[in-house]
Chain A
Amino acid sequence: MSDAPQNLSRRNLLRGAGAFGAISVLAACTSNEAEPEPAATTAAAATGEATGDTSTEAVAQDSGPAVTIGFSAPAADHGWIAAVTDNAAKAAESFDDVTFVATEGTNDVNDQIAQVETLINQGVDVLAILPFDGAALTDVATQAMEAGIPVVNIDRIFDSPQAYRSYIGGDNYGMGVSAGNYIGQRLTDEGVENPVIAEIAGIDNLPLTQARSQGFADALDTYGFSVTARQAAEFTVESGQQVTANLLQAEGEIDAIWNHDDDQGIGVLAAIDEAGRDEFFMVGGAGSANAMREIQEGNSVLEATVLYSPTMAGSGINMARLIAQGKGMDSLVELEVPASITTFSAVVTADNVEEYLPLGFES
């Protein structure tokens, strides 16, 4: 430093200019707006619109009294949660009698509790909450209910039924069952004896992963099959790639793979691609638009995916609105919104992918 403090010379100017140039080039690189190239983001917009349409069709469109819906969810740090937040916002936008107050997503339960408290203090009419951790937010949701604000609990269930007026969520066990039935049926039809079935799970210590694996094992059992090799990844592309690369080494000949999650599935497919393996078929999980496009194109080992659709958040907003307006659901006889709804894990294959593609989320 001491060598040239006053010598603010051409060299420094050049360095500065160089740095500035590099920064401006880099800044230009952050754009994800699609230029002419056909790309993922445009598909995302299309998906969003279509999703909005379906959710509005499902419920009565007549305007009612104006309601304010407070919404809180974890940070949109991966495709599925991002799609949850997106679906909720789109559903709310489709009603002219709804004011939508969404808090910034967070993975810190303390922050989320504070956010829900703020929403209660603001006096919203109804809350829709996807808690980062159901148990940790049970208390604050109960407070909301006691304060006369009904709570719609999305997906991760609270510990106590006192904490919510209505619950809508996916069926993790059912997801495993759907995947197990699809694989079991196909292998039985093909007459494979003692098939090698591999399972790539998500984060292993989560109850949802355990429920998925249990459902998968139970369903396979009805066909007399069992899982040969099972490894857990971490729901990320990178972990999916890493685990699969090793797993493919362990099993020289595989008949079927179930991968719990389409987000990590991109990595799983990359590893399969790299190893040049295609003697098996693969079933995905959750139903990302990416996975559905692979299924549609039909030249990948990925031949099906079992749904765990983020559209449930859109339905959750619809339910919150109806609850606040004191209405029931049109196609049901009851005058009130049901206390609990579990979505169905449909199997998306080449035969029906057309129909499901608009519901797929960008991972």
Chain B
Amino acid sequence: MNDTATTLDPESTSGSSSISLGDRLTGLQNLGLVAVLVLAFVTGWLTAPENFLDANNFLTILKSAAVIGVVSVGMTFVIIGGGIDLSVGAIVALASVWGTTLASQNMGLGGMLTAFILVGTATGLVNGVLIAYGKIVSFIATLAMLVSARGLAQYISGGQTQVVEVSAFRSLNNGDVFGVPNLVVMLILVAAIGWVLLNRTTFGRRTFAVGGNGEAARLAGINVKRHTMWLFGLSGLACGIAAIMIVARTTTGSSTHGELYELDAIGAVVIGGTSLAGGRGTIVGTILGVLVFTVMTNIFVLNNLTTDIQNIAKGVIIVLAVLLQARAQRGSDAAAHS
């Protein structure tokens, strides 16, 4: 599977230069987001002093961020690779349903986990094959998957909410590692592995190369089609992991899980500084983007704000974050050119 990697290595040299540039940009890009986060924390502290700065509250925020965070890490790879995955929410729903059917539950914890992961990855790979070898634009292929995966989820569940009875699985949500809840540990692991994969491996360098200039990458000997397929498989795998987490959180599998995840994930990735045109982006930025969203939601609820106000404020803050991003970006571009 890696036979090309050992013999041909030109992309690693061309890739490494883009990474060092990327590294330089990263710090500046993320400054905007960190500023927004600090702003949000100050707001939270001022408006709900006794509730916001509470260890339990931070755990609640992190646990809310965990599921969408994992999906967003997968999405970051796809977008850096020059594609888009609109089907993430539907894949989460499909995997959550498939892994919680009575048949899966009868196989116990192992059977359920296998089903979540396999269904997520396989569905992602179907996307990948359609896009890479079927030559369907990723926007359309994953849009089709969005509809049909949720349809299949509904078909399998019969429109019903499937409650998990396997106690080993239910305890997953309440467990912790040195006081850090399991879900947060999973997010940290996924983000860390994602970071290493993106920044320290051939796979990561190829991802930047494929998304930055597909033709050049092909000429440099990268199997662009196969790489694209794996990128979508990776996004599907992330969705499978996210399905485990959402099922643990809600104790159910349901075809209504993961609604609008595609928007949340793309939103987080983009305000995290990843270019929708591909070829540039960071995992750290994505995680910061996810945190901005979840911290905001938390502050709104702590202050008992109504949904309409929440939605208005969310829109404003997205624009604010992107504007700050663009400013930082222009600054860093100027620095890079000088």
Q: Taking beta carbons and an 8 Å cutoff, which residues of A are in contact with B?
A: 1-4, 22-23, 25-26, 28-35, 37, 39-41, 44, 75-79, 81-82, 204-205, 229-232, 234-238, 240-243, 245-247, 249-250, 252, 263, 266-267, 270, 274-275, 290, 362-363
Q: Can you list 28 A-B contacts (CB < 8 A)?
A: A1-B223, A1-B225, A3-B223, A25-B118, A26-B115, A26-B119, A30-B103, A31-B101, A39-B102, A40-B160, A40-B162, A77-B255, A78-B256, A79-B160, A237-B254, A237-B256, A238-B250, A238-B254, A241-B250, A245-B60, A246-B301, A249-B56, A250-B51, A266-B250, A270-B173, A270-B251, A270-B252, A274-B174
Please tell me if B63 contacts chain A, counting CB pairs below 8 Å. Answer: yes
Contact partner, B51, options A22, A33, A252, Cβ 8 Å: A252
- Decide if A22 touches B122 in the complex (CB within 8 Å): yes
Please tell me if B9 contacts chain A, counting CB pairs below 8 Å. Answer: no
- Decide if B106 touches A3 in the complex (CB within 8 Å): no
Give a binary string over B160-201; 1 marks a CB under 8 Å from any A CB, 0 the rest.
Answer: 111101000000011000000000000000000000000000
Give a binary string over B303-329; 1 marks a CB under 8 Å from any A CB, 0 the rest.
Answer: 110111000000000000000000000
- Decide if B163 touches A243 in the complex (CB within 8 Å): no
- Decide if B256 touches A32 in the complex (CB within 8 Å): no
- Decide if A238 touches B3 in the complex (CB within 8 Å): no
Q: Taking beta carbons and an 8 Å cutoff, which residues of B are in contact with A?
A: 3-4, 48, 51, 54, 56-57, 60, 63-64, 98-99, 101-107, 111, 114-115, 118-119, 122, 154, 156-163, 165, 173-174, 223, 225-226, 246, 249-252, 254-259, 297-298, 301-304, 306-308
A44 contact set on B, CB distance < 8 A: 160
Closest to A230 in B: B304
Min Cβ gap B66→A in Å is 12
- Decide if B160 touches A234 in the complex (CB within 8 Å): no
Distance in angstroms between the alpha carbons of A230 and B54 in the assembled complex: 21
- Decide if B297 touches A246 in the complex (CB within 8 Å): yes
- A39-B165, A232-B306, A238-B254 given as contacts; is B101 within 8 A of A29 (CB)? yes
- A77-B154, A362-B160 given as contacts; is B99 within 8 A of A237 (CB)? no
Distance in angstroms between the alpha carbons of A249 and B102 in the assembled complex: 34
B122 contact set on A, CB distance < 8 A: 22-23, 26
Contact partner, A30, options B98, B163, B255, B256, Cβ 8 Å: B98
Min Cβ gap B160→A in Å is 5
- A204-B306, A246-B64 given as contacts; is B48 within 8 A of A241 (CB)? no
B48 contact set on A, CB distance < 8 A: 250
Distance in angstroms between the alpha carbons of A343 and B258 in the assembled complex: 33
Min Cβ gap A147→B in Å is 32
B101 contact set on A, CB distance < 8 A: 29-32
Distance in angstroms between the alpha carbons of A130 and B114 in the assembled complex: 40
**Closest 8 A/B residue pairs (Cβ):** A246-B301, A31-B103, A236-B256, A82-B159, A76-B159, A204-B307, A29-B104, A250-B302
A234 contact set on B, CB distance < 8 A: 259
Closest to A41 in B: B102
- A29-B115, A250-B48 given as contacts; is B304 within 8 A of A231 (CB)? yes
Contact partner, A249, options B57, B114, B118, B160, Cβ 8 Å: B57
- A1-B226, A37-B102 given as contacts; is B161 within 8 A of A363 (CB)? yes
- A3-B3, A236-B259 given as contacts; is B250 within 8 A of A32 (CB)? no
A245 contact set on B, CB distance < 8 A: 60, 63-64
B57 contact set on A, CB distance < 8 A: 249
A31 contact set on B, CB distance < 8 A: 101-103
Min Cβ gap A339→B in Å is 32
Min Cβ gap B304→A in Å is 5
Min Cβ gap B130→A in Å is 16
- Decide if A236 touches B254 in the complex (CB within 8 Å): yes
- Decide if B173 touches A29 in the complex (CB within 8 Å): no
Min Cβ gap B262→A in Å is 15
B115 contact set on A, CB distance < 8 A: 26, 29
- Decide if B254 touches A249 in the complex (CB within 8 Å): no
- Decide if B51 touches A249 in the complex (CB within 8 Å): yes
Min Cβ gap A162→B in Å is 33
Distance in angstroms between the alpha carbons of A221 and B180 in the assembled complex: 43
Min Cβ gap B210→A in Å is 14
Min Cβ gap B174→A in Å is 6
Closest to A82 in B: B159
Min Cβ gap B67→A in Å is 9
- Decide if A267 touches B252 in the complex (CB within 8 Å): yes
A39 contact set on B, CB distance < 8 A: 102, 165
Distance in angstroms between the alpha carbons of A274 and B245 in the assembled complex: 14
Closest to B300 in A: A246
- Decide if B159 touches A246 in the complex (CB within 8 Å): no
- Decide if B103 touches A29 in the complex (CB within 8 Å): yes
- Decide if B54 touches A249 in the complex (CB within 8 Å): yes
B119 contact set on A, CB distance < 8 A: 26
Distance in angstroms between the alpha carbons of A1 and B224 in the assembled complex: 9
- A32-B158, A79-B159, A243-B301 given as contacts; is B226 within 8 A of A237 (CB)? no
- Decide if A363 touches B160 in the complex (CB within 8 Å): yes
B106 contact set on A, CB distance < 8 A: 35, 37
Distance in angstroms between the alpha carbons of A192 and B60 in the assembled complex: 29
Closest to B58 in A: A249
Distance in angstroms between the alpha carbons of A249 and B50 in the assembled complex: 10
- Decide if A238 touches B102 in the complex (CB within 8 Å): no
Closest to B297 in A: A246
Apart from A26-B98, A29-B98, A249-B57, what are 12 other A-B pairs with CB-CB below 8 Å?
A30-B156, A32-B102, A41-B102, A77-B154, A78-B256, A238-B256, A238-B259, A246-B302, A249-B301, A250-B301, A270-B250, A363-B160
Distance in angstroms between the alpha carbons of A286 and B128 in the assembled complex: 42
Closest to B119 in A: A26
- Decide if A237 touches B60 in the complex (CB within 8 Å): no
Q: Which of A29, A230, A249, A275 is the most central at the interface, judged by chain B CB atoms within 10 Å of its CB?
A: A29
- Decide if A237 touches B302 in the complex (CB within 8 Å): no
- A3-B3, A29-B103 given as contacts; is B252 within 8 A of A237 (CB)? yes
- Decide if A237 touches B250 in the complex (CB within 8 Å): yes
Contact partner, B158, options A82, A267, A270, Cβ 8 Å: A82
B111 contact set on A, CB distance < 8 A: 29
A1 contact set on B, CB distance < 8 A: 223, 225-226
Q: Which of B56, B162, B174, B304 is the most central at the interface, judged by chain A CB atoms within 10 Å of its CB?
A: B304
